[in-house]
Amino acid sequence: MELSVFLKETVCLRPSEQSKRQTIELSGLDRISPAILYVVLFFKSSLNSEAEYAVERAKRALQKVMVSWNPAAGRFRINESTGKLQIECNDEGITMITAASDSRLEELGTLHEYKTCYEKLVPQLSEADDISKNPLFVVQITRFACGGVSVSVGGSHALFDGVGAFTFLASWAHISSGKDESDLIVPNHSRDAILSAIYSPHHSCPEAASIYEQHHITAIQDLYGIPMQIMASDDRCWESALVKFSRVDHSQGGLELITFCVDKEIVETWKGQAIERGNLFKCSTFDVLSSHIWKARVKALLPPDTNICLQFPVDSRDRFQPPLGKNFTGNAFVLASVSCLVRDLLEEPLHSTIRKIQGAKHVITDEYIKLYTKALESSNKFFPSMRELTIVTDWLKFPFSALDFGWGKLSSAALLATPVQETAFLMMNLEESGGFMVRIGIGGQYVHDLVSNFNNFNYY
């Protein structure tokens, strides 16, 4: 559909008071994919006469929250001696755009489904030749004719992981809505605990010049069975990507972003069935949905004798020793991994796949985390084939519905570009109480088969 958006103002917001100047050394977990991720948040509010005040209040709140979340106002730079990416906390600021549309939110239909016109709701920034000139976090607030509002945010994945980014958003919303700032957690942005642990002389971590030599790490070992493409030897390989604020590239293979909705009743039935038939102690929504989308995707893409791999991030904040703490904002997710043949995956019952996924989670121990993180510091980088590798990310635990900037609770959320666009994201369906969503990117020629597979698997 057509969506007219009129830009009103572009400003660089800096912290309301000078923050702590520092350089944050990033870990391999941060630097593995520093590209920009965009989310559009929709609020079916009725802001009219007070809209200008509401937007100004959100601006001031963002400036306040940046004081303690100062990496968001910083810039990337490459350490010339190591070739590794760093964050310079220099208060250069966040780019915020305010805009207006003469359309109404209801004209957009189902809000959580990606539409090309959503690209107009996120900041369209010019590309800088130097990554140190680009903001790490961008915002666009668009007011609609109905009084509704969209808040679009884009941030580098190297800045915060999902937990950190959501806590940042929640803190901004908390202050914007006028709530007590003393209720907020004090964030910890330092990666020193991770870096010190993996380089500690007391930690016996095998040295390897190449990431290909890390046979002792399941998530890397499993990738040996699928094609891999080697990358450059340091973080300078990211420079051309980091100066681009690009979103969905429809020119490469006709990638389409598909959103599936699943009723709570269906998921609960699958969970109960898996527990009963597989004699499982427990079964989570993530276990069920990740098993289901893995089966549906590989059936659409690959022949039966193909080696395949499912990988999914596991939060290591509490598994790392000593624990990183819930206020740690850097990337703390380590990939768990399951591998098999397409034929075996499609022939085995749902509960067997779930058991493998649960087993992969148990592998993520303190020792594994440190070995994995150390491996990412090795001299080679690679991209595995995204046909054989399925990545599933769990956003089910993020309470998006609680986000309130002072103009009402969130009505819906839509994902735009992600660092790996074929990744499947599991989210709550805010437009259908209790329901769930699966958002995934796939080549246009496979959409029909994927939809058919996803909707026709019968586990009863």
User: pLDDT by residue (tens digit) across 431-459?
Assistant: 988 899 999 999 999 999 999 999 987 76
- The predicted pLDDT at position 206 comes to 52
Least confident range from 51-60, 379-388, 409-418: namely: 379-388
- The predicted pLDDT at position 210 comes to 47
How far is residue 42's CA from residue 107's CA, in Å, rounded to a whole number?
Answer: 13
Higher-pLDDT residue of 209, 254: 254
Does the pLDDT of residue 313 top 90, yes or no? yes
Span 48-66, mean pLDDT?
89
Percent pLDDT > 90 in the chain is: 68
Does the pLDDT of residue 44 top 60, yes or no? yes
**Cα-to-chain-centroid distance, residue 54:** 28
Q: Of 143, 160, 135, nearest to 33 (Cα)? A: 160
Cβ atoms within 10 Å of 87's Cβ, excluding its own: 26
Q: Of 306, 372, 298, nearest to 333 (Cα)? A: 372
Q: What is the chain's length?
A: 460
- The predicted pLDDT at position 458 comes to 75
- The predicted pLDDT at position 352 comes to 97
Q: What is the DSSP string of 168-201?
A: HHHHHHHHHTT--GGGS---B---HHHHHHHH-T
Chain segment 315-365, per-residue pLDDT in tens: 999 999 999 999 999 999 999 999 999 999 999 999 999 999 999 999 999
Does the pLDDT of residue 75 top 60, yes or no? yes
Q: In angstroms, what CA-CA distances link 119 with 53, 98, 154, 426?
A: 26, 15, 12, 22
Q: What is the DSSP string of 44-75?
A: ----STTHHHHHHHHHHHHHHHHHHSGGGG-E
- The predicted pLDDT at position 315 comes to 97
Residue type, 4: S
Annotated catalytic residue within 112, 157, 174, 189? 157
Chain segment 86-134, per-residue pLDDT in tens: 999 999 999 999 999 999 999 999 999 999 999 999 987 776 678 888 8
Does the pLDDT of residue 230 top 60, yes or no? no
> Contact, 93 vs 39, CB < 8 A?
no
Work out the mean pLDDT of the chain and round it to a whole number. 87
Does the pLDDT of residue 300 top 70, yes or no? yes
> Contact, 315 vs 163, CB < 8 A?
yes
Helices of type H across 88-229: 162-176, 192-199, 218-221
Does the pLDDT of residue 294 top 50, yes or no? yes
Does the pLDDT of residue 38 top 80, yes or no? yes
CB-based contacts of 52, cutoff 8 Å, min separation 6? none
Q: 271-305: buried (b, 16+ CB within 10 Å) or exposed (e) per residue?
A: bebbeeebeeeebbbbbbbbbbbbbbbbbbbbeee
Count of alpha carbons within 13 Å of 328, Cβ hemisphere only? 20
Span 229-249, mean pLDDT?
50
Chain segment 180-211, per-residue pLDDT in tens: 888 899 999 999 999 998 887 665 555 544 44
- The predicted pLDDT at position 128 comes to 67
Chain segment 144-188, per-residue pLDDT in tens: 999 999 999 999 999 999 999 999 999 999 999 999 888 899 999
Question: Residue 214 — very low, low, confident or very high, per pLDDT cuts 50/70/90?
Answer: low
> Contact, 308 vs 286, CB < 8 A?
no
Burial class for 311, CB neighbours closer than 10 Å (0-12, 13-18, 19+): buried
Residue type, 380: N
Q: What is the DSSP letter of 441?
A: E
Q: 382-397: buried (b, 16+ CB within 10 Å) or exposed (e) per residue?
A: eebebbbbbbbbbbee
Question: Residue 32 — very low, low, confident or very high, per pLDDT cuts 50/70/90?
Answer: confident
State which H helix or E strand residue 98 sits in: strand 94-101
How far is residue 390's CA from residue 108's CA, in Å, rounded to a whole number?
Answer: 30
Question: Residue 258 — very low, low, confident or very high, per pLDDT cuts 50/70/90?
Answer: very high
Q: Reply yes or no on whether 448 is catalytic.
A: no
- The predicted pLDDT at position 19 comes to 80
Chain segment 364-384, per-residue pLDDT in tens: 999 999 988 888 887 555 566
- The predicted pLDDT at position 297 comes to 97
How far is residue 260's CA from residue 230's CA, in Å, rounded to a whole number?
Answer: 33
Does the pLDDT of residue 419 top 90, yes or no? no
- The predicted pLDDT at position 251 comes to 45
> Contact, 205 vs 371, CB < 8 A?
yes
- The predicted pLDDT at position 250 comes to 46
- The predicted pLDDT at position 380 comes to 57
Q: Helix, strand, coil proportions of the chain in percent (round to 5)?
A: 35, 25, 40
On whether the pTM is more than 0.85, the answer is yes
- The predicted pLDDT at position 427 comes to 96
Does the pLDDT of residue 248 top 50, yes or no? no
